[in-house]
């Protein structure tokens, strides 16, 4: 048992160190990763019906279920590790300039994981509101998606998430209910085990989703896309 605990701790340390080094190198080159989708954006000839803005959960979604995106004229614009601040910075080239009918925003996991340091839920919401206002100003309908449940962040074990994620989702829901042109999409309720963690068959590592998990959220969001 002690050996298993030690190995788990060493693995967590390795993941954290590797992520920190990778992120430090990235910051020096292109903090918000404007260049990540620059080529893909320039090749868009038909406006996508929906642009999915997000982090690694969205990025992995495209890889896990490419047909969901290709067959529906959806564009995935997720970037692993990104926070709401970085998404707000690249919202114009990766969403507005593609002229979609909808934008589906799923963001906040990495803020709560403190990828860029500590940030309050209120400041996270401000970033989300700014993205929504930019979308609405450009006649893009907003599908504001809940942050999926997470038991523990594999890359930052000390970050508290089981209470903060539901609290943030409540803030997102209240904002959407009081804002014309913004619709709240509740993934959390369908994925949670009842204790603010994700149902095991829907998660790879207590945070990211399995193909079955993506099946669940696809069935939900398609109800809101006309």
pTM of the model: 0.88
Work out the percent of the chain whose per-residue pLDDT is above 90: 86
**Residue 129: partners with Cβ closer than 8 Å, 6 or more residues away:** 175
Q: Which two tokens stand for residue 26?
A: 């990235």
What per-residue confidence (pLDDT) applies to 29?
A: 86
pLDDT band at 8 (very low <50, low <70, confident <90, very high): very low
If you average pLDDT over every residue of the chain, what do you get?
A: 91
CATH topology of domain 31-224: Rossmann fold (3.40.50)
pLDDT band at 6 (very low <50, low <70, confident <90, very high): very low
Q: Report the C-alpha gap between 108 and 125 in whole angstroms.
A: 9
Alpha-carbon distances, residue 207 vs 57, 110, 139, 188 (angstroms): 9, 11, 33, 12
- Residues 106-160 pLDDT 10s: 999 999 999 999 999 999 999 999 999 999 999 999 999 999 999 999 999 899 9
Closest by Cα among 62, 73, 67, 66 to 101:
73
**Secondary structure of 52-102 in HEC code, one letter for each residue:** EEECHHHHHHHHHCHHHHHCCCEEEEECCCCCHHHHHHCHHHHCHHHCCCE
165: pLDDT strictly greater than 90: yes
């Amino acid at each position: 048992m002690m050996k298993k605990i030690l190995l788990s701790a060493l693995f967590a340390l390795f993941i954290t160190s590797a992520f920190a080094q990778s992120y430090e190198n990235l910051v020096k080159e292109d903090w918000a990763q404007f260049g990540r989708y620059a080529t893909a954006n320039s090749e868009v000839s038909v406006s996508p019906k929906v642009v999915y803005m997000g982090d690694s959960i969205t990025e992995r979604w495209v890889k896990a279920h490419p047909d969901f995106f290709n067959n529906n004229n959806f564009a995935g614009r997720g970037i692993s590790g990104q926070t709401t601040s970085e998404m707000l910075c690249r919202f114009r080239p990766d969403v507005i300039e593609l002229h979609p009918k909808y934008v589906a925003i799923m963001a906040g996991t990495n803020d709560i994981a403190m990828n860029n340091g500590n940030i309050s839920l209120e400041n996270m919401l401000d970033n989300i509101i700014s993205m929504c206002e930019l979308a609405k100003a450009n006649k893009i309908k907003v599908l504001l998606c809940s942050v999926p449940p997470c038991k523990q962040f594999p890359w930052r074990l000390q970050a508290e998430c089981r209470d903060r994620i539901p609290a943030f989702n409540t803030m997102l829901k209240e904002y959407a209910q009081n804002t014309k042109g913004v619709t709240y999409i509740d993934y959390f309720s369908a994925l949670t085990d009842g204790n603010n963690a994700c149902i095991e068959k829907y998660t790879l590592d207590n945070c990211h989703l399995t193909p079955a998990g993506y099946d669940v959220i696809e069935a939900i969001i398609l109800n809101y896309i006309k």
